[in-house]
Amino acid sequence: MSITGPDSELDPAGRVDWLREQIHTHNQAYYERDAPIIADAEYDLLMRELRFLEDAHPDLITAQSPTQSGVGGSPSEQFSPVQHRRRMMSLDNAMDLDELRAWGERTARRLAEIDAAGPADTARAVRYVCELKIDGLAVSVRYERGRLVQAATRGDGRVGEDVTANVSGIAAVPQQLGPSAPEVLEARGEIYLPLDSFHALRERVIAENEELAAKGNRQRPVPVNPRNAGAGSLRQKDPTVTASRGLAWWCYQLGEIVGAEEPPTHSAALAWLGGMGIPVNPETKVVDNLDEVYKFCAHWVEHRHELPYEIDGVVIKIDDLATQQALGETAKAPRWAIAFKLPPEERTTTLLDIQVSIGRTGKATPFAVLKPVFVGGSTVGMSTLHNEDQVRHKDVRPGDTVILRKAGDVIPEVVGPVLELRPEGLPEWKFPSNCPSCAQPLVRHEGESQHLCINPECPQKRWASICHFASRGAMDIDGLGEQQIASFLELSLMNDVADIFSLQADRLLHLPGYQQLSVQNLLSAIEASKSRPLGNLLFGLNILHLGASGGQTLAAAFGSLEAIMAASVEDLSAVAGIGPVIAGSVFSFFAEPANRDLVQRLVDAGVNTVGPERSLLQQTLSGRGVVVTGSLAGFSRDAAASAIKERGGTAPGSVSKKTFAVVIGDEPGASKLAKATELQIPLLNEAEFLQLLQTGELPATSADQDVSI
């Protein structure tokens, strides 16, 4: 959705009114219907512009403005209203580290002024509590004499919705506190949907939709993100549905308290709540200065995706409650706290078209052509849609407004359409029956999710296969890029990957842009590629289902290209890490006469066909998977993985039931630790890792440890 409306310079009052109307509409969509029609980053832009205009034109400020009254939605008529005894306020935002630093300096000045006005000995040292900002739904849970009696959403901050029955079914919310609980205790926190629960819900809805579609019935919307899915799960009319969704809860604030003395600091209050069995996020940290605050925020900008739940920022609070009271609050937010927002990773944009690309193995992949939008640190104009089934499940159509998600360097993903903004009568997109490059029929084999162009003469397929062969993960031919390959194909200088090694200097020197030095550099790079490892060659041959690691595995297991070509499906399947699908694909590839002729031409050109020398080290980790997370003093990440592989093991990037052990270095990934704990997989320090490499045995303290974080 683009930000339009009246011009702010020509008509500031009209612009302010338009912004307030937009924000009100989006508040209703987000807080009341759990169906936002713009991403958080775009909403923040609207709020920031409104604040800017009100600062420039104070006469336009009204008490009803969302900058003064706070954000939130009116309670739904589906649930009874609940009056909060203490207002549940929203927080001001810092969009980057500079704004966070400005808040810290502003707060320090206010405290200096307060201290200067008091007795001479009142100067105070300020400590900060840093908490993860969970992307969920804020609730207040009230206990009386230790028993849960009421739960309410935040609503507009003053009045929320009574969701007691639904919250009572969430396993993470205790129904009864211990005997030390006071007469009244209100715990405020965030109900959220863990990522595992979100993915399970998506898969369940997709499966149900397939059954509905088969019967010709209307399908349900597929959940697009954990926040909306979690909020919708909490607001179910049937509490048993809420209980089945796997919701969880983190408490972040003490509300009303009767019958007990309030702890002097926020961190002490959280510890007190945790001691009574109320879940408090373990990543919460108390720091002594703003530099440590910035370090904490910067850490989670980088490591946010290692968590088993989604966060959209970090909340920073002054720890001392007396200092909080001295600073006070504005009409909508406390001055003693701020939310540092992580860089935006979801935006809305227009899906202009869906096209299909043909890859190196003939795989036909649909992709989205988008109105360019800045998200996750870069401008995105295209995104893969994977296959026909994914397009159908997401039900995205050219002309839709769609939600685009991008996390750092991760490939951008079209999450789904904003159905409220879909133009009436927009037709469903259909997967083409013919290849867009060669016009031959596309084939989808039974049990496969992908369509294939099986025409060996397909121009796009041929180009993509040669590009892959020359790429860094395969033969790594520097200077032979996509444009050069397209030119060579057009000029009939090459027709397949073996022709690369037949390129001649005298032909190249006659081409535009090629001089003596550039030709020599290219031919030198081609010559150097002949010595690449056998695993690289296997990967470069574009064998369906065979990836880079599979190529290395086969090269190490058989020792030569000749032995691999002579192997049966059973021989190939017997190699650890090579399943029946890959084995069948490799066997079929080398059974084709045309492929064997191609390989012979490569052999004649002098490419390396011999695998790596077998390791002389004792195979202490044969068949075992060892995951390394965090930084080790004596190993780089690659060196640790090599040490494992040289001893017959594997070094996967994630923890699973098959993982033998997890090696923990400095600043390990939180999600890997959590998964290892859940599966009770032994955790090793670096010294124990060295012992494992040498003996293949787990230290006694790790083999029978009670693993905990």
- Looking at the DSSP bridge assignments, the partners of residue 401 are 350
Joined together, the tokens standing for residue 520 give: 């020599």
**Cα separations in angstroms, 572 against 534, 536, 566, 577:** 16, 18, 10, 10
Encode burial over 296-312: b for 16+ CB neighbours within 10 A, e otherwise.
Answer: bbeebeeebebbebbbb
**Cα separations in angstroms, 227 against 122, 136, 137:** 43, 5, 7
Q: What does the CA dihedral 638, 639, 641, 647 come to, rounded to 10 degrees? A: 150
Residue 485: CB atoms within 10 Å: 22
Strands 659-664 and 625-629: parallel
159 CB-near residues (< 8 Å, 6+ apart):
74, 75, 81, 82, 83, 84
Q: What is the DSSP letter of 422?
A: P
Yes or no: say if 682 and 703 are a contact pair by the CB < 8 Å rule.
yes
Tell me how far apart the alpha carbons of residues 15 and 53 are, in angstroms, rounded to a whole number: 9
What is the phi-psi region of residue 216: left when phi exceeds 0, alpha when psi lies from -120 to 50, beta otherwise? left
Q: Return the closest-CA partner of residue 418 out of 4, 5, 42.
A: 42
Look at the alpha carbons of 584, 586, 587, 593 in this order and tell me if their dihedral is positive or negative. positive
657 catalytic per annotation: no
Question: Strand runs (DSSP E) across 550-632, as ranges?
Answer: 625-629
**Cα separations in angstroms, 644 against 222, 621, 651, 672, 697:** 41, 7, 7, 18, 13
Joined together, the tokens standing for residue 525 give: 């790079």
Query: Phi/psi of residue 373, each to 5°?
Result: -145, 145
Q: What three-state secondary structure class fits 675?
A: helix
Tell me how far apart the alpha carbons of residues 162 and 104 are, in angstroms, rounded to a whole number: 36
Tell me how far apart the alpha carbons of residues 667 and 677 are, in angstroms, rounded to a whole number: 16
User: What count of residues does the chain have?
Assistant: 709
Tell me how far apart the alpha carbons of residues 77 and 367 are, in angstroms, rounded to a whole number: 41
- Looking at the DSSP bridge assignments, the partners of residue 314 are 132, 340
For the stretch 484-488, contacts whose Cβ atoms lie closer than 8 Å and that sit 24 or more positions apart, written own/partner, are 487/511
Amino acid in the structure at residue 501: F
Joined together, the tokens standing for residue 250 give: 């983190």
Tell me how far apart the alpha carbons of residues 297 and 245 are, in angstroms, rounded to a whole number: 30
Tell me how far apart the alpha carbons of residues 475 and 145 are, in angstroms, rounded to a whole number: 70
Yes or no: say if 527 and 521 are a contact pair by the CB < 8 Å rule.
no
* DSSP per-residue letters across 186-232: EEEEEEE--HHHHHHHHHHHHHHHHHHHHTTPPPPPPP--HHHHHHH
Catalytic residue among 133, 363, 406, 672: 133
Amino acid in the structure at residue 647: R
**Cα separations in angstroms, 661 against 261, 319, 389, 537, 703:** 46, 39, 36, 32, 9
Q: Cα 243 vs. chain centroid, distance in angstroms?
A: 26
Residues with catalytic annotation?
133
